[in-house]
Amino acid sequence: MQNQIRSKEAKEFVSAELDYHITEVKNDWIEKGLNEVDAEVKAVEQMGSPITLGQSLNKLYRPKVNWFTVILLVIALGLS
């Protein structure tokens, strides 16, 4: 899943976020009577396809271009 995400900062954030969600869902399944291993398997299955999830998160956490810096660079290059 993380191979689908290009931004290094986003990878760290997404990893922490997914760990949190998996733990929450796992705990819900444990409360419903599943053992810890089965609850974790069920929680991971609920996340869906890792590739599809990674692609969606890559679109969501795409690095933004700082257009002000780009314009300043173009002006500086044009003046030199």
Given this model, what pLDDT does residue 49 score?
81
Residues 6 or more apart whose CB falls under 8 angstroms from that of 29 comprise: 38, 39, 42, 43
> What pTM does this model have?
0.61
Spatial neighbors of 66 by CB under 8 A, at least 6 apart, are: none
Which pLDDT does position 8 carry in this prediction?
72
pLDDT of residue 32: 95
- 10-residue mean pLDDT profile of the chain (80 residues): values are 66 82 94 95 87 75 73 86
Amino acid sitting at position 40: E
